[in-house]
Amino acid sequence: DELDIEAIRRLVKSLCRFLPPGEAVKSRGLFDSRADELEFIKSSPMGGAYILRKLWERLGLDKVIAGALKEREFRTPVEWAIFAMVANRALSPDSKRAVEEWVEEDVALGNPEPICLQHLYRAMDFLLEHEEEVQKEVFFATADLFNLEVDLVFFDTTSTYIERDEEDEEGLRRYGYSKDKRPDLPQVVIGLAVTREGIPVRCWVLPGNTSDMKTVEMVKRDLKGWKLSRCIWVMDRGMNSEENRIMLQRAGGHYILGEKLRDASGNYKEALSCRGRYHDVRENLKVKEVTVGSGERRRRFVVVYNPDQAGKDRKTREKTLQRIEETLDTLGEQKGKAHKKSVCALLSHRTMGRYLKQLKSGKIKIDRAKVKAEESLDGKYLLTTSDDSLSAEDAALGYKQLLEVERAFRTLKTTLELRPVYHRKDDRIRAHVLICFLALVLVRICERQTGLSWNRIRAIMDRIHLVTFESKDGRILQRTELTPEQSNILKKLNIPHPPKVCKVNLKG
């Protein structure tokens, strides 16, 4: 019998649908057209999204969300919608409305179906419902990935303002102490716990008028049951109170806390006045251990001294004193209400007022005793710790790592563009912060495993593009060739190269 060539071709074409895209192209000799018969359709960056997706799956977030979805009748791509918002924060931060267009036009995300704005809002609501589960899974997966022993937990807070003029009567958006220097706008307070490696552990979103002192009990309660090892809590001086110190020591916990050098209680005076030699820890870092009191009132302090910072403090004070003298000269030329107003402003000034005193006659002059007292504090900060097994050197180095939280906040506010926040509902604000937190986790993992900044990683990897061509056979989606630099990043992240031919859409 004569062979039915067309039938065989149809059979081969049909079978090719079951092969990986690259093999299908080779097996059938697809897209062997001349270059002038291939039409270029589009090119989108894919490298950054590709590594974020692989890390997302390595942390098991796709499975956690899929598991939670089993009991729900969602017809929308919730898991991919959540990932799209997280990836957008890391790659090209924009509003939720803009994410829809970004996924469609500006990135090769890999989503199997379209994602629209309503999908994003539903996904945010779903994510918030499972906030505790998701954050806990992220922590355990990350701890397993890096074989982390979480012996130090660093906690700090920041604020971020909301783009509206009025605060809520009840809710998150409240006026409070603004760390963004925007007291004119309502804000929310964000708490963040990180490991000594700078990996985020958990985040919290609190009303904008929440004081640092009130956050400690919540943090200890929420992380209870997370199977943290012998844990030392590291927090700054804004969270240091007797009540909080007792709370942090419950269940065998310990703390390293900053102390206020100008605390009216006088602890700092006794600790700083104790004699003893400083020991070198590293360049520009010296420590001295001091014990104050006995029995239940015993407190262990570590005086930390930075010679380089001492020089900077001295220069700053000299400039302030010069400014005071210039201001005092102008005061002598004023009379009446103007003079009285200027005097009040000067005495209450946050920096200059520290060095002034007012005589019985009403005259203001520089208080040389206060200047001398300030000189004794140059380059110093004071720590207290409850752990006697922790050396003074380790306490100082541990506290310095609190800068990891500050670095995380900077990344949230700059690289990931946490603000502006335009959401009105409390739940949407919480979900927005949680999305930024998840992006921060992925970014920190990339940085830790590659030794590069995220901005550098993103720039290198987004030069990998997914290119779409069309010919008489159909469409083919093929990535660009990898550079040695891109291959090295993938190797360090233990992520395989993306397939060269990513997708084939055959005609007919």
DSSP 331-347: HTT--HHHHHHHHHHHH
Q: What is the pLDDT of residues 348-399, one digit of tens each?
A: 888 898 899 888 888 888 999 999 988 989 999 899 998 888 889 988 888 8
Q: Is 497 helix (H, G, I), strand (E, B) or coil?
A: coil
SS3 per-residue string spanning 13-70: HHHHCCCCHHHHHHHHCCCCCCHHHCEEEEEEECHHHHHHHHHHHHCCHHHHHHHHHC
Predicted confidence pLDDT, tens digits, the chain (508 residues): 455 555 655 655 565 555 555 555 555 554 454 445 678 888 999 999 999 999 999 999 999 888 888 877 777 789 999 999 999 999 999 888 899 999 999 999 999 899 999 999 999 999 999 998 899 888 888 888 877 766 678 888 888 888 766 776 678 888 888 877 888 888 888 988 888 778 888 899 988 888 888 888 888 888 877 766 567 888 888 888 888 888 888 767 788 898 888 765 666 778 888 888 898 988 888 999 988 887 777 889 999 999 999 999 999 999 999 999 988 888 877 777 777 888 888 888 888 988 998 888 888 889 999 999 889 899 998 999 988 888 899 888 888 888 778 888 888 888 877 876 766 788 888 999 999 999 999 999 999 999 999 999 999 999 999 988 887 777 888 899 999 999 999 999 999 999 888 776 766 5
Q: Where are the domains of the chain?
A: 5-46+465-506, 309-375
- Measured distance CA(188)–CA(208) in Å, rounded: 4
Q: What are phi and psi of 256, to 5 degrees?
A: -125, 115
Tokens in use for 132?
Answer: 């505790």
Residue with tokens 């990891």: 404
Contact assessment for residue 176 and residue 427, using Cβ atoms and an 8 Å cutoff:
no
Q: What is the pLDDT of residues 307-334, one digit of tens each?
A: 999 999 999 999 999 999 988 888 877 7
Contact assessment for residue 30 and residue 112, using Cβ atoms and an 8 Å cutoff:
no
- Measured distance CA(73)–CA(81) in Å, rounded: 16
Predicted pLDDT at 1:
44
- Measured distance CA(138)–CA(445) in Å, rounded: 11
Report the predicted TM-score, pTM, of the whole model to 2 decimal places: 0.80
Q: How many CA within 13 A on the CB side of residue 55?
A: 28
What DSSP character marks residue 231?
A: -
Predicted pLDDT at 31:
46
Of 469, 319, 432, nearest to 82 by C-alpha is 432
- Measured distance CA(447)–CA(40) in Å, rounded: 35
**209: number of Cβ within 10 Å:** 18
Q: Is 138 helix (H, G, I), strand (E, B) or coil?
A: helix
Predicted pLDDT at 35:
46
Type of residue numbered 329: D
Sign of CA dihedral 113, 114, 119, 124: positive
